Amino acid sequence: MRRFIQYSLISFLAIALTACEKKFIPKPKAYPKIDLPEQKYIKLTDEHPYRFEYPASALVFDDTFNLFEPHWVHVYYPEFKANVQLTYKSVKQDKKRFEELIDESFKLAGKHNFKAYSIEDNVIKTPLGLTATVIELSGEVPSQFQFFCTDTTENFLRGALYFGVADRNDSLAPVIEFIKKDMIHLLNTLEWRKFDFKKDKALD
């Protein structure tokens, strides 16, 4: 009987100690929920050699950076502190200039090579018959999405997405994908305009 009581006491203590042990279960990584606006679009009506549709949730304003050139604009998302910088260049029917602009666009994307996990470029054909190159970068890079579109003889438009926040790119992934869709829509609605550069005025 005495031995039975000893065994029972030992078993009880073993069960009690096991019950007191806390198992550590790592919690999955969580990010703040991001509410994305409805994707509606507005046609750009400003005096530029191009026009396109841009998101209603964004603002379009002229670039005022000290190196800016005419017809450089920003598509700014105040809700996300995200900015797509659009830089326009006139090719002027100069083949060498055209090749330099293409080369420069790939060099600017390539500057992120040391931080990017991968850089992928694809050529797309827009419904209006234009050809555009889309460059997607993954990893902790300053610009996750870039593109350029040209008719090879007159017009060259380049775009690059930047964020003014310090969040990691994986936490910004839903916003990046959201803006990518907007930029693809911009490219799909992009058209070149007849433009008088001396008078800085569209002719159509």
pLDDT of 85-110, one tens digit each? 999 999 999 999 999 999 999 998 88
User: Which domain range does residue 150 map to?
Assistant: 41-195
Please report whether residue 74 resides in a domain.
yes
Q: Is residue 59 part of a domain?
A: yes
Residue 22, pLDDT > 80, answer no
Cβ-proximal residues to 149 (8 Å cutoff; 6+ apart), any chain? 126, 130, 131, 132, 133, 156, 157, 187, 190
pLDDT digits (tens, 9 = 90+) for 104-118: 999 988 876 666 677
pTM of the model: 0.80
Higher pLDDT, 7 or 181: 181
CA 192 – CA 48 distance, rounded (Å)? 9
Q: How far is the CA of 187 from the CAs of 9, 93, 110, 132, 204, in angstroms?
A: 77, 22, 22, 7, 20
Q: What percent of the chain has pLDDT over 90?
A: 63
Q: Residue 1's pLDDT band (boundaries 50, 70, 90)?
A: low
The pLDDT score that the predictor gives to residue 112 is 63
10-19, 24-33, 164-173 — most confident range: 164-173
Asked if residue 159 belongs to a domain, the reply is yes
What residues contact 129, with CB distance under 8 A and at least 6 apart? Answer: none
- 26: tokens are 């790592």
Give the mean model confidence (pLDDT) for residues 114-132: 88
Confidence grade of residue 119 (pLDDT, cut at 50, 70, 90)? confident
Q: Is residue 22 part of a domain?
A: no
**CB neighbour class for 95 (10 Å; exposed up to 12, middle 13-18, buried from 19):** exposed
- The two three-digit tokens of residue 21, written as one number: 């042990």
For residue 24, tell me if it sits in a domain.
Answer: no
Structure tokens at 66: 């000290």
Residue 92 lies in a domain: yes
Q: Which of 35-39, 68-72, 131-135, 200-204 has the lowest mean pLDDT?
A: 35-39
What pLDDT score does 113 carry?
64
**Cβ atoms 88, 72 nearer than 8 A:** yes
Q: Tell me, what CATH number does 51's domain have?
A: 3.40.1000.10
Whether 33 is covered by a domain: the verdict is no
> Domains in the chain: how many in total?
1
Residue 174 lies in a domain: yes
Averaged pLDDT score across all residues of the chain = 84
Phi, psi of 86 (to 5 degrees): -110, 125
